[in-house]
Amino acid sequence: MKRIYLNCGQLGLTPPTSTTPHSSTHSCNKRPSRFMIFASSWLPNYASLNNTFIASASSSLGGSEQLLDVGSKKKRKEIAGIDQDELVDPKLLAEPDSCFCEFKGVHIHHKIYEYDAESNSQTQINKLCLPMILLHGFGASVFSWKQVMKPLAEATCSKVLAFDRPAFGLTSRVNLTSGNGDTKPLNAYSMAFSVLATLHFFDLLKAEKAILVGHSAGSLVAVNTYFEAPERVAAIILIAPAIFAPLTAPSFFKESGEDNQRKEDNSSVTRNPIVGLYKLLSKIIKYIAKAITEMMKPMINILNSLYKKLLSSILRSSPAIMLVRMAIDKFGAAAVRNSWYDPKQVSEHVLSGYTKPLRVKDWDRALVEFTAAMLLDEESNTKPELSKRLNEISCPVLIVTGDSDRLVPSWNAERLSRVIPGASFEVIKQCGHLPHEEKMEEFLSIVENFLRRLAGDSNKQDLQPVT
Cβ-Cβ contacts under 8 Å for 295 (sequence gap 6 or more)? none
8 A C-beta contact, residue 339 and residue 407: yes
- Is residue 350 within a helix (H) or strand (E), and if so which, with residue range? helix 348-355
Which class is domain 90-177+185-248+330-378+391-461?
alpha beta
What's residue 369's pLDDT? 92
- Going residue by residue through the chain, which has 467 residues, state the pLDDT in tens, using 9 for 90 and above: 444 444 444 444 444 444 444 343 333 444 444 434 334 443 344 444 444 434 444 444 444 444 434 444 444 578 988 889 889 999 999 999 999 999 999 999 999 999 877 666 555 656 778 999 999 999 999 999 999 999 999 999 999 999 999 999 999 999 886 555 556 788 999 999 999 999 999 999 999 999 999 999 999 999 999 999 999 999 999 999 999 887 755 554 444 444 554 554 455 445 556 656 666 776 777 777 777 767 766 766 566 666 666 767 777 788 888 999 999 999 999 999 999 999 999 999 999 999 999 999 999 999 999 988 888 876 666 678 888 899 999 999 999 999 999 999 999 999 999 999 999 999 999 999 999 999 999 999 999 999 999 988 765 555 444 43
Total number of residues shown for the chain: 467
Per-residue model confidence (pLDDT) at position 77: 77
- Report the pLDDT value the prediction gives residue 188, as an integer from 0 to 100: 94
- Calpha distance 267→173 (Å, rounded): 64
Extended beta strands in 13-94, E state: 78-79, 82-83
pLDDT given for residue 465 in this prediction? 47
Among 122, 129, 384, 112, which residue's Cα sits nearest to residue 234?
Answer: 129
Q: Domain spans of the chain?
A: 1-39, 90-177+185-248+330-378+391-461, 251-315
